[in-house]
Structure 1
Amino acid sequence: MTENRSSPPASVPDVIVVGAGVIGLSAALMATFRGLSVTVLDREGPAAGASAGNAGGFAFTEILPLASPGIMRKAPKWLADPLGPLSIPPAYAHRIAPWMLRFWRASSPARFAAATAAQTALNDLSRAELEAFLGETGTLAMLRKDGCLEVYESEAEFCAALPGWRARAEHGIDFRHLSAGEMAELQPGLSPRFTHGSFMPGWYSIADPRDYVLALAERLRALGGRIERDEVRALRPTETGVEIVSDGGSRQARHVVLAAGAFSHRIARSLGERIPLETERGYNTTLPPGAFDLKVQITFGGHGFVVSRLSSGIRVGGAVELAGLDRPPNFRRAEAMLKKATAFLPGLDPRDGRQWMGFRPSLPDSLPAIGPSRASRQIVHAFGHGHLGLTQSVGTARLVADLLTGRDPPIALAPFSPGRFRRMIA
């Protein structure tokens, strides 16, 4: 990790980061470590969105894009259940249709293979950079290495998942398949309806994602960075950098990092860029810490949700609702997952839970947008990480810092180009 050489912020900062989630604050800190003065702007403040409500996993083993061969054959079955793993409200279907077309095109075997390689590279970079970053930010004590157990209800469901495990094996990911008895030893209290499992020891987690992001914010402030609550409306390239237009007025910066999560595409439109970012609305319920003696995170893949152990409690959440930014939450989805969790973990106490809904920013090929804006190389995009924002945060921050300081990035950036969708639909 580069030694911090930052000086007090100038009236015109080297970098303004738009977004105070885990991506934006990680990028801000990496830039600060390179000696740049940084200001972060966010419409709600640090850890207000998906960075606070996620499952807390550094899912480095999750290299397979959601846009995959055969996925469209499964979609009708999922969509038939309005509270199932995938939901699209009928009134939103026409809005999501162009995104779904791109998603279908991204699921071809060739594009799936290329996206898997790119996602593996970014996950590997993120894992390689993680512990040094946590040490530099004073958050290493929050890291857990308990692993993750994925469970199956039948021989057929397990066999259907084997191609994905073979792909992970080809990329060097460690796992082992377990019998029902072995699962019971690893995680007592799991329903006997689950007959097969796969355990990934390389799955890390953070004690609590909200506490982690707030700690990053405090570390940035301690290093001289500024964090302000302000909603950015537009970006305008200038001869000397970038003009940022916000509710608080207009200001200048030499560089801008756009990391506003699910709201990023709205700001990118001010630059003449139409990036097909969609919102996966995720739901969860966080139960008190004593609700269940959870040893490892459990993924119920056939039902689209996970149960994870945080310092703040037991979190039951996941699923995908493609419904944009403006529709009201449908907390029946959180209730449906909790009801299933009590059946799958018979000892789980479902009382006194706190419900949450948040926005996951997702692009059709399951890869984030990381790279310069077409409007100006002084503007760097860093958004669209879907389910892997926490996982890929430190790797993304490393790439952003390299772009800001003119260094060669350690992995190819072409697969993450913000302009790649123009080529996809040509």
Structure 2
Amino acid sequence: MDNPAPLSQKVLTHTYGLDCEIAVIGAGIIGVCIAIELQAAGHDVWLIDRKGVAEECSYGNAGHIAVEHIFPLSSPATLMQVPKMLLQPNGPLSIRAAYLPQLMPWLMRFLWAGRPVQVRRGTEAIAALNARALPAYRSLDARFDLGGLLVEDGTLVVFESEKNLSAASREQRLLTDFGVETALMDATELKAFDPSLSPALKGAVCFPASAHVTDPAALVRMLASRFTQRGGHIERQAVTGMDHSPTHLGLTTSRDRVRAQKVVIAAGAWSHQLARMLGYKVPLETERGYHLMLDEPTVMPRVPTTYHERRFVATPMDARLRLAGRVELGGLQLPPNIRQAHALMPQGQDLLPDLQAQGATPWMGFRPTLPDSLPVIGPAPRHKGVYFAFGHNHMGLTHGAITGELMRDLIGGKVPGIDLTPYRIDRF
């Protein structure tokens, strides 16, 4: 394990009247990975979050390190399916009517991002992050001990339609070109691999090099604990203002004021509000994601399993089963529609016919999504010492560790191992 930040650095920082060298705003998987990597590199770091560690999207995601998900959400194929998804009762996608007028500019950008040339660029940019996602987690595990929470057993996508299975087999060639390992299973092979799945399924695509986390919130909290044990500081405060001067960055919070040499904005679905304080307008929208956590399920899938046609995922998490996958476009203010979460139970029983549970706990969280499905990672072009790391949409957990490494190198003056041009904030 690396040594904690040198005491001399902390003395120097506080001698100049600053609270810390680097303030990281956001204590989800992205912010915590950035903080612990910066700390391990010798920096004096504070973590600041409005609700605390892993209290938002990082608490309830599906748990996948989804290295196979290299395609942007907006594409000609996806856009053709949107009307059908919206018309389905309890379908995988819904839009809150009250929010539609506010959503329209983002939807127009989303449609524009589906141009073939942009889809190709986006695929390359996502694949570049994905290729280093698992090695980055293995590095975290080797240095900080993730307590067995990272499981590399692969994942499945299962199909109830021969047509969709055939289309997936054609897509395998493109995935292979980007270095994603795949294997096709017919119905007989799938039944032998996991007898708990529905016999009506026609087959599956297996991704043996993918992984999952058995408790995403526990992973983030464990890393945050390692951070504080090494001298890191965590503040539960909302940042309400930000100002930039030649000597420091000032953060006005709900309780105090924090002065730092550098600031990293990694606050997920609230990041665009913080960026706007410095004059950066980012078309970030909120996907409201739902899950249903089942206690003592009578049956579990062998590995995390995505049901292609129903567009949800069942992830084994120790003795519990998480059903996740609903997307609702409705912003940050409207109340959750918990029926979306409960609607996952009958879908789960279609996947796992013998599924029952002793209890079911619904949840809703906010995914930060940009129209082109790429995160913002990099420096602020007009404000020295300000950095951005947000907008990872469905890939926040997947990209947590690699984003931490990239920000560590960028802030430390090293050339990051990935070209950050596709993720710049001024691309819009």
Offset, 1:140? 5.1
Deviates more, 1:152-161 or 1:3-12: 3-12
Deviates more, 1:249-258 or 1:77-86: 77-86
Are residue 262 (structure 1) and residue 237 (structure 2) matched? no
CA distance in 1, matches of 2:205, 2:311: 16
- Asked if 2 retains the 8 angstrom alpha-carbon contact of 1:281 and 1:323, the reply is yes
- Asked if 1 retains the 8 angstrom alpha-carbon contact of 2:113 and 2:371, the reply is yes
User: Partner of 2:302: helix, strand, or coil?
Assistant: coil
Q: Taking structure 1 as reference, are residues 94 and 418 closer, same or farther at Cα in structure 2, changes over 3 Å only? A: same
Question: Which residue is equivalent to 1:302?
Answer: 309
User: Partner of 1:256: helix, strand, or coil?
Assistant: strand
Are residue 52 (structure 1) and residue 59 (structure 2) matched? yes
Question: Which residue is equivalent to 2:98?
Answer: 91
Are residue 234 (structure 1) and residue 237 (structure 2) matched? no
Question: Which residue is equivalent to 1:79?
Answer: 86
- Asked if 2 retains the 8 angstrom alpha-carbon contact of 1:81 and 1:87, the reply is no
How many residue pairs get aligned? The number is: 421
Residue 363 of structure 2 aligns with an amino acid whose one-letter code is W
Residue 408 of structure 1 aligns with an amino acid whose one-letter code is V
- Asked if 2 retains the 8 angstrom alpha-carbon contact of 1:272 and 1:375, the reply is no
- Asked if 2 retains the 8 angstrom alpha-carbon contact of 1:131 and 1:140, the reply is no
Offset, 1:225? 0.5
Residue 134 of structure 2 aligns with an amino acid whose one-letter code is R
Alignment of 1:3-402 (within 5 A): 4-7=4-7, 9=10, 10-11=13-14, 12=18, 13-81=20-88, 83-139=90-146, 141-311=148-318, 313-402=320-409
- Asked if 2 retains the 8 angstrom alpha-carbon contact of 1:65 and 1:365, the reply is yes
Offset, 1:289? 4.1
Q: Taking structure 1 as reference, are residues 320 and 290 closer, same or farther at Cα in structure 2, changes over 3 Å only? A: closer
CA distance in 2, matches of 1:401, 1:79: 41
Offset, 1:155? 1.0
Offset, 1:163? 4.3
- Asked if 1 retains the 8 angstrom alpha-carbon contact of 2:33 and 2:400, the reply is yes
Offset, 1:351? 3.8
CA distance in 2, matches of 1:25, 1:167: 33
- Asked if 1 retains the 8 angstrom alpha-carbon contact of 2:296 and 2:358, the reply is no
- Asked if 2 retains the 8 angstrom alpha-carbon contact of 1:28 and 1:38, the reply is yes
TM-score (norm 1): 0.95
Report % sequence identity.
37
CA distance in 2, matches of 1:209, 1:244: 29
User: Partner of 1:70: helix, strand, or coil?
Assistant: helix
- Asked if 1 retains the 8 angstrom alpha-carbon contact of 2:291 and 2:326, the reply is no
CA distance in 2, matches of 1:3, 1:186: 44
CA distance in 2, matches of 1:176, 1:61: 12
Residue 142 of structure 2 aligns with an amino acid whose one-letter code is G
Q: Taking structure 1 as reference, are residues 163 and 240 closer, same or farther at Cα in structure 2, changes over 3 Å only? A: farther
Residue 389 of structure 1 aligns with an amino acid whose one-letter code is G
Deviates more, 1:156-165 or 1:188-197: 156-165
Offset, 1:30? 0.5
Q: Which runs of 5+ in 2 are unaligned?
A: none
Match of 1:403 among 410, 414, 421: 410
Deviates more, 1:161-170 or 1:46-55: 161-170
Q: Taking structure 1 as reference, are residues 185 and 31 closer, same or farther at Cα in structure 2, changes over 3 Å only? A: same
Question: Which residue is equivalent to 1:424?
Answer: none
The C-alpha deviation readout for 1:70-120, integer Å capped at 9, x for no partner, is: 322111111112521111112211111111111111111111111111111
Offset, 1:5? 4.0
CA distance in 2, matches of 1:176, 1:251: 51
- Asked if 1 retains the 8 angstrom alpha-carbon contact of 2:183 and 2:205, the reply is yes
User: Partner of 1:399: helix, strand, or coil?
Assistant: helix
Deviates more, 1:28-37 or 1:302-311: 302-311
CA distance in 2, matches of 1:298, 1:314: 11
User: Partner of 1:419: helix, strand, or coil?
Assistant: helix
CA distance in 2, matches of 1:173, 1:4: 36
Offset, 1:271? 0.7
Offset, 1:207? 2.0
Residue 348 of structure 1 aligns with an amino acid whose one-letter code is L
- Asked if 2 retains the 8 angstrom alpha-carbon contact of 1:6 and 1:34, the reply is no
Offset, 1:243? 0.9
User: Partner of 1:235: helix, strand, or coil?
Assistant: strand
- Asked if 2 retains the 8 angstrom alpha-carbon contact of 1:39 and 1:226, the reply is yes
CA distance in 2, matches of 1:154, 1:187: 18
Residue 217 of structure 1 aligns with an amino acid whose one-letter code is A
- Asked if 1 retains the 8 angstrom alpha-carbon contact of 2:168 and 2:205, the reply is no
User: Partner of 2:148: helix, strand, or coil?
Assistant: helix
The C-alpha deviation readout for 1:360-411, integer Å capped at 9, x for no partner, is: 1111011100011233131110000011101001111111111211111111
- Asked if 2 retains the 8 angstrom alpha-carbon contact of 1:64 and 1:164, the reply is no
TM-score (norm 2): 0.95
- Asked if 1 retains the 8 angstrom alpha-carbon contact of 2:300 and 2:321, the reply is no
CA distance in 2, matches of 1:375, 1:231: 24
Offset, 1:136? 1.4
User: Partner of 2:205: helix, strand, or coil?
Assistant: strand
Residue 198 of structure 1 aligns with an amino acid whose one-letter code is V
- Asked if 2 retains the 8 angstrom alpha-carbon contact of 1:237 and 1:375, the reply is no
Offset, 1:312? 5.3
Residue 403 of structure 2 aligns with an amino acid whose one-letter code is T
User: Partner of 1:303: helix, strand, or coil?
Assistant: coil
